[in-house]
Amino acid sequence: MSKKKPLPEIPIEADIESLTHDGRGLTHVEGKAVFVHGALPGERVRFRYTRLQKRYDEATVTEVLVAAPDRVAPRCPHFGVCGGCSLQHLDPGAQIGMKQEILKDVLTRIGKVAPETWLTPLAAGHWGYRRKARLGAKWVQKRGRVLVGFRERSASFIADLTRCETLHPTVGERIPAISDLLQNLSIRDQIPQVEVAMGDGPCVLIFRVLAAPSASDLGLFQAFAEAQGLHVYLQEGGPETIRPLPGQGVELGFDLPAHGVHLDFLPTDFTQVNLELNRLMVDQALDLLEVQQEDRVLDLFCGLGNFTLPLARRAGQVLGVEGDAGLVDRARANARRNAIANAEFLTADLYRDPAASGGTAPWGAGVFDKALLDPPRSGAWEVLDLLPAAGVRRLVYVSCYPSTLARDADRLVNGLGYRLVAAGAMDMFPQTAHVESMALFELPRRRG
């Protein structure tokens, strides 16, 4: 059996060349790449190795010898240990600049495309923005405490948090209260997860319980909910078992005021985590699409109608397509609630090979002028070739993963003849290296 190479103990000094896509500083030691946590480009640092790999090594900063001008003091005492954030040591303005550079890099390298115009990156508040989250919980006998938080950066342990600066303060300031609650339960070692869901109003916490709570546990949950002004739901099995405690059920929802739209959702539904940024994102998408009253617009991966209903306020007709039947139900109910009659919804698996259904689009023989695509991380490859035939000339692509956007941009531009008119990053997750972006494509009219 090969023995693991021991980590060098002496700290190494190095100059940091650039930032990796996950927010680590890159340097080279004797030609080998080293990814250094906590280091920024332009800095001279001392670091210690944390992991040796065949093609690259990993390390963490022990001392910053020459700091980058955009280095700032991390706001959170848990930064560096907690895996929830990776960029708190970088000025927020520089963070979004870095995200725009990552987008530029992948579009060039993977997509072999360049936008005709760069959009100014979209950014909103940098702290307390997160309204959806899944926190881990663990009773740790040795400490005599229940830890509640995100996983540690470099281990699978739950970080021992006293607060979280990126969670909305309603939850971020109540981590110790949640921990105290769990600690006092008879099933304190049977609750591995707490899910957070909130819109503009109330906040729901869903406690995953692996054993039935006792009557006294239920009393403690109720007392906690009342004292903290939070709404407690329990989940005993799969998502279908999620139930509010008596009197705790609440309607979640958020407004898109520029479009006169209010969207209701269930606690486990997909919603954008950063509502402030979401509002800017929806506005920008609609402006880029230049929706006219006579337009027929296709909204693929539409969820509960976040873009569909604002689109319907401006367009003649909108069709939203989504794979999750529950979200489609919510989208239809949201259309009714907002008295929107020109939006239809269809449940379809957009990743199913269209050849399996005779080579036609899952949305049928519809003819559309414009489209909005907002796929998950895996992108929208499977639907791209169907867009020109559906009549789509103007297309806004909202992406949560730059590499798949770049791959799809290559197909749209170099394969299908669209122009990449504009692109830009969006800071949906400040303090993390997560990059969201938006791109506008247009199909030039053929000269007849």
Residues within the interface to ligand SAM (CB under 6 A): 270-272, 301-303, 306-307, 322-324, 327, 349-351, 374-376, 400
From the CB of 234, what's the least distance to ligand SAM, in Å?
24
> Order of strands, edge to edge, in the sheet holding 44-52?
12-15, 44-52, 56-66, 32-37, 25-29, 18-19
Q: Between 402-410 and 92-109, two packed helices, what is the crossing angle to 10 degrees?
A: 30
Shorter beta-carbon distance to ligand SAM: residue 160 or 322: 322
Q: What is the DSSP letter of 354?
A: G
From the CB of 217, what's the least distance to ligand SAM, in Å?
33
Number of C-beta neighbours around residue 240 at 10 A:
8
C-alpha span between 246 and 231 (Å, rounded)? 10
Shorter beta-carbon distance to ligand SAM: residue 127 or 265: 265
Of 82, 164, 302, 400, which is the active-site residue? 400
Closest by alpha carbon to 107, among 351, 368, 434, 425?
425
Establish whether 400 is a catalytic residue.
Answer: yes
Shorter beta-carbon distance to ligand SAM: residue 39 or 373: 373
Closest by alpha carbon to 375, among 355, 395, 354, 390?
395
C-alpha span between 12 and 24 (Å, rounded)? 16
From the CB of 321, what's the least distance to ligand SAM, in Å?
7
Show the beta-strand stretches assigned E in 38-104: 44-52, 56-66
From the CB of 67, what's the least distance to ligand SAM, in Å?
37
DSSP 189-205: GG--EEEEEESSS-EEE
From the CB of 180, what's the least distance to ligand SAM, in Å?
34
Burial grade of 192 (CB within 10 A; 0-12, 13-18, 19 or more):
middle
Shorter beta-carbon distance to ligand SAM: residue 34 or 438: 438
Shorter beta-carbon distance to ligand SAM: residue 271 or 274: 271
From the CB of 415, what's the least distance to ligand SAM, in Å?
21
C-alpha span between 435 and 102 (Å, rounded)? 8
Shorter beta-carbon distance to ligand SAM: residue 320 or 424: 320
Tokens of 56: 């690259």
Q: What is the DSSP letter of 240?
A: G
Shorter beta-carbon distance to ligand SAM: residue 73 or 325: 325
- Quick check: 80 and 68 in contact, CB under 8 A? no
C-alpha span between 396 and 282 (Å, rounded)? 11
Tokens of 135: 């926190």
Shorter beta-carbon distance to ligand SAM: residue 40 or 380: 380
From the CB of 395, what's the least distance to ligand SAM, in Å?
14
From the CB of 336, what's the least distance to ligand SAM, in Å?
18
Closest by alpha carbon to 421, among 100, 120, 121, 118?
118
C-alpha span between 82 and 153 (Å, rounded)? 5
- Residues known to be catalytic: 400
